[in-house]
Structure 1
Amino acid sequence: MTWEAFHRRGEVLRRVIEVANERCDGRLPNDVAGVDAVFTDDVDLLGALQLRWHTALAGQIEASLADQPIDLPGAVVAAWRVTAADLPGVRAILDAHGEQPTSPEVAHVMETASAKERQMLALMAGLASRLDLDEQAARRGERLEREARAGVRLAAIDVPQPRGFLERLKAALAA
């Protein structure tokens, strides 16, 4: 992949995430300009969204553990909730495709990603070790995920879009 293609893919993915978060309907935003040019199929796009979710979740867990080093499971649950609030559309897409996969390949990708995520949750919460990242660790992580989901409603986030050049510049500098 060339440098230009890599950055084009990143730009399209950012727009896909924006649209997903606006809609929060669990459907892949295949209508976003450039999706067909930079993603080979739905599995490729789902994989990119899964990676974005996983990366955001891992970063949020690290930050949460730094703030709350005593209650590890509580910090992991809080981090999952913050990530779900930050990426509600992405979470809705991953949930929808995990519950009703559109193909056997999608089912396999979603099952594998879900198991790995749950193992990470258990590991970061101190409920598993790197030596026993197995089905039992995934079950422990699943319990943490269920706790995190309790009372969490994924909804579109209302982010006012800057209108003029000066407002866009201020928003970019603030980010």
Structure 2
Amino acid sequence: MTWTSHHRRGDVLREVIRTADARLATPAEHRQPAHLPMDVDGVADTFGDELTLLGALQLRWHTRLAGHIERELADQPLDLDNAVALAWLAAAEDMPGIRAVIDHCSSHPTSPEMARTTAIANAKEHEMLALMAGRASAPGEAAQRVGRTIEASARTSYVPGAVRPAVAAPSSLVQRIRAVLAA
């Protein structure tokens, strides 16, 4: 991949994400299912097919989720379950269009390959959630069950497309210790 094609791919992916977010922001009575935005200019040329585009969106999602988990665990090192659930919620609120597309593709795959790909990606996500929450010691079916529970907990307060009002977060133990040490 050349420098130009790499940057073109990034530009197209950003437009796909903007389109997915905009479609989710339409009023519920006019909202279409969260299909992959294959109609965005340049998608066919840069991604080629649905699976490649979905893979790029899943990578963006997993990267953002991992970043939020790291940040929440640093702020809440004593409440791992809650930190991981809050991280999932924050990532979903940051990327509502991607989350909606992934959910739609998981529940309505257009091919057996998409069904397999989304099942694997979801299993890996659930394992990560369980492992980072300290509720599993190794990847596998048990970790996936725990991760599904953590995701379900986060989804109880998730409204796709809605943005929570900014609230000043209470100081975490780590932040209070840092403030004392700095003083």
Q: Does TM-score exceed 0.5, indicating one fold? A: yes
User: Normalising to structure 1: TM-score of the pair?
Assistant: 0.86
Match of 1:27 among 16, 31, 35: 35
Superposition CA RMSD, Å: 1.1
Aligned 1:87-166 pairs, distance under 5 A: 87-129=95-137, 132-155=138-161
Contact 1:27 1:96 in 2 (8 A): yes
Letter in 2 for 1:75: A
Q: Percent of pairs identical after alignment?
A: 54
Structure 2: runs of 5+ lacking an equivalent: 25-32, 164-183
* Partner-residue secondary structure (3-state), 1:31: coil
Matched positions, count: 155
1:10 is aligned to 10
- 1:29 Cα offset (Å): 1.2
User: Normalising to structure 2: TM-score of the pair?
Assistant: 0.82
Runs of 4+ with >3 A deviation: none
Contact 1:92 1:154 in 2 (8 A): yes
- 1:105 Cα offset (Å): 0.3
Aligned 1:20-99 pairs, distance under 5 A: 20-24=20-24, 25-99=33-107
Bigger Cα Rg: 2
Letter in 2 for 1:128: A
Q: Distance in 2 between matches of 1:81 and 1:43?
A: 25
- 1:31 Cα offset (Å): 1.5
Q: Distance in 1 between matches of 2:124 and 2:77?
A: 23
Q: Distance in 1 between matches of 2:16 and 2:96?
A: 13
